[in-house]
């Protein structure tokens, strides 16, 4: 268990929110990991499940297009 760098409370769990992240002209679903006490963002990353889903859909589309 770590401490929140903002409010210094112990963190036993986090709140996970989703937002759109942008890189160049590409939009990605992004996960925000937030402190349950002060609600400040501790970290973020592109949603790996959303990426997997996008890849699978694109592969299926390509296969059906042949």
Q: In degrees rounded to 5, what are phi and psi of residue 55? A: -65, -45
Q: pLDDT per residue over 9-41, tens digit each?
A: 999 999 999 999 998 888 999 999 999 999 999
Looking at the 3D structure of the chain, how many domains does it have? 1
- pTM for the whole thing? 0.78
In sequence order, the 6+-apart residues with CB closer than 8 A to the CB of 57 are: none
Looking only at the bridges linking them, the beta strands covering 10-11 and 26-34 are unpaired
Higher local confidence (pLDDT), 54 or 4: 4
- Furthest CA-CA distance within the chain: 56
> Which residue segment(s) compose the domain that 26 sits in?
2-64
């Amino acid at each position: 268990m770590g401490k929140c760098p903002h409010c210094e409370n112990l963190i036993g769990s986090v709140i996970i929110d989703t937002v759109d992240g942008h890189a160049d002209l590409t939009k990605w679903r992004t996960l925000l990991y937030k402190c349950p006490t002060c609600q400040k963002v501790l970290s973020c990353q592109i949603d790996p499940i959303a990426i997997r889903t996008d890849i699978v859909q694109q592969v299926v589309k390509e296969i059906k297009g042949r």
